[in-house]
Structure 1
Amino acid sequence: MSFLNIDELTGKIFTGQWTRAHGGDAPIVNPSSGAEVGRAGSSNGQDVAEAAARAAEAQKGWAALPFVERAAILHRAGRVIEDNGAEIIDWFKQEAGAAAGMAGFNVHVGGAECFEAAALASQPYGEILRSEKPRLSFSRQIPVGVVGVISPFNAPLILGIRSVAPALALGNAVILKPDPRTAICGGAVIAEAFRQAGLPEGVLQVLPGGVEAGQQLVADPNVPVIAFTGSTAAGRKIAEAASTHLKRTHLELGGNSPLIVLDDVDIDAAAENGAWSAFLHQGQICMIAGRHIVHESVADEYVAKLSQKAKGLPVGDPLQREVALGPIIDAAQRDKIHGLVTSSVSGGATLAAGGTYDDLFYRPTVLDHVTQETPAYNTEVFGPVASVIRFSSVDELAAIAANSEYGLSLGILTRNPMRGLEIADRIPSGIVHINDQTVDDEAVAPFGGVAASGNGSRVGGRANLEAFTETQWVTMQAEPARYPF
């Protein structure tokens, strides 16, 4: 029996059960072929307002459940994802254009997020405080109520469930608005996993939709916290709108991460790391390494080996054959990528590999001899493009790497890890990987960027507890206090 019945989901959103959306429906398109493979419900402001009211009511009973019952549902949801991994992987190939490895990684992390959240439900949620008075004084973390989650297309299962699962585990209700381009991978999969796990109706609602739905979610008085993953430009607008309602926002935004290659590194290993961090999932990952900062003494060899890898990677429809790269999500994104590449070459960069496309299939691209003003170097490309810039001294390296509005992830390759850590201390970044590339995610680890990459770690590990609860101070004493008036 199929995990997802696409015919039953046509034109529907998840409100605890699959119901017709007031906003109509929207096509689900396979980016490899351009074929329509179904139609998802498209929520509007009315759908979101009604969902928020339902969620606020359902949350009370959910928060009152013993933590062991919440944990059991989270654990079952993780098992549902794992048990249906093969079908979910096929949907990732079909809807998100993901190669098998990237699709499988989403399934793995999706299940892990549920298991880690299940453990979160039983963690200590307060501490005993000292007090000047003869009383018991303590703080405790209580649910915020309803959490709004807005997730993107690129890793839709991971980037949705990493907020959904911990928010639920801590006693909140959740409204998830996935990107309509991946309404199945980033929406229906999560909805069905929790429905089949026995989550009470109304506690999780999944409403793909456009700008109107997002605006209502940010403005709705029943939703005090917004967790957003997406572009920096969109994140700024959401933060501004949320601030007028005094809402807390957790923003995981764009990046243009540097991969640093020092002069003592194994170049073969460096090229492997460089290719993975630049070309994985067609470069459509916020942590992707667009800036390759390489010591001048090894730069020629690095570019040669990275280019060789780029030229040898198979690109195509992941449903048809084993490929390393699938399609770009849509034509607008492909054209943005190609425009940055062509303007960079026109400005003096050397095209060492790639720079061409067939429909939405963009060849992995290497640009050499770039400067800090080169468009594909100083912009988040969100495509399979590695721009190589050279340095001669550590001071120059640190200045180049730190010269970016973003600060999400940093990779440093060197035979001396302590040297790498010293360099990392000079480069603002939310994530640092020494002797590894820039792209990684684990449910147990804090995740987030600084500067234009977001407002710090808001998901993962202990960060989840602070992200999705309020801190409340409580005192208790045996008799009512007495006062002089």
Structure 2
Amino acid sequence: MTAYSELNLQYISGKWREGNSQTMYENRNPYDDALITAIKLASKEDIEEAYFAAEKAQPAWEMVNAFKKTEIFENAVSIMKARREEICDLLIQETGSSYAKASVELEFCISITREAASFPMRMGAEIVPSLVHGKENRIYRRPVGVVGVISPFNFPMYLSMRSVATALAAGNGVVLKPDEQTAISGGLLIAKIFEEAGLPKGLLNVVVTSIDEVGDSFVEHPIPRVISFTGSTAVGLHIAQICSQMMKKAILELGGNNPMLVLEDADVDKAVQSAIYGKYFHNGQICMAINRMIVHENIYETFVDKFVEKSRKIKVGDPRDHSNMIGPLINSKAVERITREIEKAKAEGAKVVLEGKVEGNILSPYILTSTTNDVSTAKNEMFGPVATVIPFKTEQEGIAMANDTPYGLSAAVYTGSIEKGVEVAKQIQSGMVHVNDQSVHDEPLIAFGGEKKSGLGRFGGKWSLDEFTTFQWISTQNEMREYPF
């Protein structure tokens, strides 16, 4: 047994205890359906207690010496590094990650926590000149108070940590609601790490619950001033509506329909190699994954042939075998959804040039070709190992096709000229565009986020600091001023 193998309790008000729901959730391995643990879910009352605990603990935390705060985050980094193999194994078991994906996810967690460790030193004040004689204007950066975090199943540890670590480091209390399918790696493990690192009790709370039972109560609760959500656009829009009605800030990273635009002068072999990673990493279950490959007609057939050839060679199977790059999707519903979309695209005129197969929750690569951007697999985010390849004639036509979506999260441009690629990238309506690389990329110091229906706000570096803080103007009148009456 490992130190983190029995995380089946809620973490509320600094205590590990069962939830008050009557529902037990069975946390199962998506590869073989083996039971990992059973968790008694949290109720609305548990959410209430968690928010009150965070609110109670936050004022004292805000006043803790910056060097002491930083030390706690450095401790958390050390714990993650020391328990690398154990954490990677948990990610493989709970999320179906390949070993390569689990390693990358943990590195992201370490990097963003290391960046968060600098936040306490950046919570300073600025003195600004005044129009009024004898007045001093001070602008203080302050924590917002309490942040509610809702994270998804695909990169559960990192997509929780990027909000949890940064919000805590900025002086806030946090209540985290991970997806119940990845309750341990997305939440309870993080609570354990910070508990061991020395975070004050009550400041971070983790509630594992079911939306069917608690409804919108996590978002509607009056205590959190910011809700950080990563997930589907449909749910994100609903959360945004609630937050706007309650004058809360919503930070939303939502769906994507990410294009890879391959220009006529691109190196086809390099573009294909990048496309393989950008499409199939973590089985395509990444918001930034390439969904459409839009390729100039003069190199289209060559690209398709080489992409199919390389896709056939990808090892598929049990993620515990470190040589397998594609493992299970998160559940059977995901498999069923994707296969329906494939059949619909075929009926709409798309051709299957590489036909995958279904084995349990594993879906091996599917590649379709289409003459238009309008087939289902190109219009909709697949969130699985399915690619649609589409030809274009002119550069402007390719750009228009890349932009022909309500989403704008990430994109890629492949070309023989970096500067040309940058000029094309500027014309793509996307929060992030990568030239001569693929679309799956994140870094702790970069503004991460989307345009259009892909979300609001930015994560990473100083942008996270801005999202989880507010500014207060305090002026001092040091000399008696003259008033007009």
Is 2:147–2:167's contact at 8 Å kept on the other side of the alignment? yes
Is 1:157–1:186's contact at 8 Å kept on the other side of the alignment? yes
Quick one: structure 1 residues 92 and 233, their matched pair in 2 at CA, closer, same or farther if it must change by over 3 Å? same
1:174 maps to: 174
1:102 maps to: 101
- Calculate the aligned-residue CA RMSD, in Å: 1.5
Q: Which runs of 5+ in 2 are unaligned?
A: none
Please, which moves more after superposition, 37-46 or 252-261?
Answer: 37-46
Q: In 1, Cα distance between the equivalents of 2:447 and 2:388? A: 28
1:117 maps to: 116
1:10 aligns with 2:11: no
Aligned residue type for 1:273:
S
Quick one: structure 1 residues 129 and 221, their matched pair in 2 at CA, closer, same or farther if it must change by over 3 Å? same
Q: Within 5 A, what are the aligned runs for 1:102-251? A: 102-123=101-122, 125-133=124-132, 134-211=134-211, 212-213=213-214, 215-251=216-252
Please, which moves more after superposition, 352-361 or 201-210?
Answer: 352-361
Quick one: structure 1 residues 59 and 480, their matched pair in 2 at CA, closer, same or farther if it must change by over 3 Å? farther
2:421 maps to: 420
Q: In 2, Cα distance between the equivalents of 1:437 and 1:148? A: 32
Q: In 2, Cα distance between the equivalents of 1:14 and 1:268? A: 52
Aligned residue type for 1:425:
K
- Aligned with 1:318: secondary structure? coil
1:279 maps to: 280
2:295 maps to: 294
Shift of 1:108: 0.6
Q: In 2, Cα distance between the equivalents of 1:214 and 1:116? A: 34
- Aligned with 2:445: secondary structure? coil
Q: In 2, Cα distance between the equivalents of 1:209 and 1:479? A: 56
Q: In 2, Cα distance between the equivalents of 1:360 and 1:94? A: 14
TM (norm. structure 2) is 0.96
1:215-248 Cα offsets, whole Å, 9 max, x none, are: 2221111111100000000000111112221111
Q: In 2, Cα distance between the equivalents of 1:354 and 1:3? A: 42
Is 1:443–1:460's contact at 8 Å kept on the other side of the alignment? yes
Quick one: structure 1 residues 284 and 10, their matched pair in 2 at CA, closer, same or farther if it must change by over 3 Å? same
1:167-191 Cα offsets, whole Å, 9 max, x none, are: 1111000001000000011112211
Is 1:267–1:302's contact at 8 Å kept on the other side of the alignment? yes
- Aligned with 2:174: secondary structure? strand
- Paired residues, number: 482
Shift of 1:357: 1.0
Q: In 1, Cα distance between the equivalents of 2:480 and 2:237? A: 48
Is 1:110–1:162's contact at 8 Å kept on the other side of the alignment? yes
Aligned residue type for 1:451:
K
1:313 aligns with 2:321: no
Q: In 2, Cα distance between the equivalents of 1:321 and 1:137? A: 58
Shift of 1:320: 4.4
Q: Which runs of 5+ in 1 are unaligned?
A: none
Q: Within 5 A, what are the aligned runs for 1:389-468? A: 389-457=390-458, 459-468=459-468
- Aligned with 2:273: secondary structure? helix
- Aligned with 2:252: secondary structure? strand
1:69 maps to: 68
Please, which moves more after superposition, 189-198 or 128-137?
Answer: 128-137
Q: In 2, Cα distance between the equivalents of 1:136 and 1:13? A: 44
Q: Which of 13, 18, 21 matches 1:20?
A: 18
Q: In 2, Cα distance between the equivalents of 1:286 and 1:324? A: 18
> What percent identity do the matched residue pairs reach?
37
TM (norm. structure 1) is 0.96
Shift of 1:41: 3.8
Aligned residue type for 2:69:
R
Shift of 1:308: 1.1
Shift of 1:319: 1.8
- Aligned with 2:310: secondary structure? helix
Shift of 1:125: 3.2
Shift of 1:477: 2.5
Q: In 2, Cα distance between the equivalents of 1:190 and 1:328? A: 23
Shift of 1:368: 1.2
